[in-house]
Structures are given as C-alpha cells and as structure tokens.
Amino acid sequence: MYISLRRAEKKDCAQLLELINELAVYERAPDEVTVTLQEFEEAGFGENAVWKAFVAEADGAIAGFALYYIRYSTWKGCRLYLEDFIVTESMRRYGIGKMLFDRVIRETKEKGYKGMVWQVLDWNEPALNFYKKYNSSVETGWLNASLSLEQVKELHDAGL
C-alpha cells in the first residue's frame, strides 16, 4: 500500500465531510454535524478561508486528514489549533495517524507558531495513548463553553 500526504484541495471536501461524520459517530454526537458541503468548501477555499488541512491518501483514496486553523492566545501568541484529526476506521494501524500528526507538528515549527493545541475526549483512550507517545500535555480544569446560532439570535432578540 502506498501512503502519501498532501494539502487538502476543494475537490476533497465531500470526502472530508464524510470522515467528519464518521468522527462524529465515533464521538457519540452524530447529529451535531450541521455544516453543509457548500459552507465547508467556502470556509476552506473561499475568499475568507479559515481552515487548512493535510490529507492522507492510501493507494489514491483519502484515508484520513488533519484540519487546522490558527488561533491567537493572549498568553502565548499564535498557535496552531488542530480541529479534527481522523483516520478512517478501516485504515487505522498503518501509521497514517502518525504521519498526519507529525506533518502538523512540522507545519507548526515551519510557520513559527508558539505551539499547537487540540481537544481530546477524556474517554477516548486510543487517542490519549497516541498523544502520550508525543509527551503531550493534557490539561484538566477547563470546560468548553459555547453559544449556538439559535442562542445568539435569542439573545439578540432579547435586546443584547
């Protein structure tokens, strides 16, 4: 099997969205993916693109990807944020995850970012074990917070 890495292209978006849905199922949140293909393409390849990704191909078929964007930390400066990192289930155990993760680390260094960050679910033992091999730090004590579009609209309608 021949495995190669490359930067994602717009033509990859439909397959990437399929993998995103696979990840959502794995993370026990299959109904949470609401982005449309058009929104996804625009966000990655439109006039104001916000994300980039590396794609792993095995014998010409997309087997995984690592999608990231740059976030700014007032404490640390520019950092690469790894939003999604997945290898399709049937292609795990071939070193594709390591290839992708190593490529994102290299991107962080090449661009001069102050580090890279990501989230991992506390029950995802395979992922936690993978990250331990890199001697990564897994923080505790921080909770995720968010407002949905509906909540924002409700607050706006209430006069905020």
Residues with catalytic function: 131
The count of residues in the chain is 160
53-85 CB burial, b ≥16 within 10 A, e <16: bbbbbbeeebbbbbbbeeeeeeeeeebbbbbbb
Residue whose C-alpha is closest to residue 48's, from 69, 75, 30: 69
Q: Which residue matches tokens 């993370």?
A: 27
Tell me the HSE value of 4 on the side-chain side, using a 13 A CA sphere.
Answer: 7
Helix (H) or strand (E) holding 43: helix 37-45
